[in-house]
């Protein structure tokens, strides 16, 4: 029977092969989410489009008895919106890990910000945001002109 060792909590769980790591952790009272994410985390699914919350990041300290990480999972760990974080090869989303052998896990690992990529994203969003603001302003002026207020 595989065992999951939670390093920070100093707790071990014996689980059935194929057990989902997130489910096992939450069932035994091990917290995977930061305070903010405990309130706001949501995995959204709209047809074929999925928006996983990316809040249950863990680090596999030791052990190989788990399924492989997918590119989508890596993208979620890195962050899809404003902030881009560096992703170590042993970082996983707990909800995506199936345990088939002994593993040692570190919950809520410190994640380093990828400053260059984040700067580029913020710059791009600034340009796009400025464009939409300008368009809204022009539409507003056109609307005022139509009702003869200016
Ligand atoms: S629970 Fe949200 S990504 Fe794992």
pLDDT digits (tens, 9 = 90+) for 56-93: 999 999 998 999 999 999 999 999 888 899 999 999 99
Span 110-125, pLDDT tens digits: 999 999 989 998 898 8
How buried is 96 (Cβ within 10 angstroms: 0-12 exposed, 13-18 middle, 19+ buried)?
A: buried
Q: Quick one: pLDDT band at residue 48, thresholds 50, 70, 90?
A: confident
pLDDT at site 112:
92
Question: DSSP readout, 32-51?
Answer: -S-HHHHHH---EEETTEEE
Res 69: pLDDT: 96
In the predicted structure, residue 50 carries a pLDDT above the cut 80: no
pLDDT band at 149 (very low <50, low <70, confident <90, very high): confident
Distance, in Å, from the CA atom of 85 to the CA atom of 115, rounded to the nearest integer, reads 8
Q: Residue 114 Cα, ligand 1 centroid: separation in angstroms?
A: 21
State in Å: Cα 73 to ligand 1 middle. 10
Q: Is 56 in the pocket of ligand 1 (CB under 6 A)?
A: yes
């Amino acid at each position: 029977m595989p065992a999951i060792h939670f390093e920070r909590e100093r707790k071990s769980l014996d689980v059935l092969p194929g057990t989902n790591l997130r489910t096992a952790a939450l069932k035994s009272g091990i917290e995977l989410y930061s305070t903010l994410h405990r309130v706001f985390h949501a995995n959204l699914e709209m047809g074929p489009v999925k928006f996983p919350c990316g809040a249950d990041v863990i680090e596999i300290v030791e052990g190989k008895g788990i399924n492989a990480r997918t590119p989508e999972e890596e993208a979620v760990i890195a962050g899809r919106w404003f902030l881009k974080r560096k992703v170590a090869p042993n970082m996983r989303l707990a909800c995506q890990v199936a345990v088939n052998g002994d593993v040692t896990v570190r919950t809520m690992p410190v994640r380093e910000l990828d400053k260059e990529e984040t700067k580029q994203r913020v710059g791009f969003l600034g340009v796009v945001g400025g464009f939409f603001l300008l368009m809204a302003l022009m539409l507003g002026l056109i609307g005022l002109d139509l009702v003869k207020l200016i």
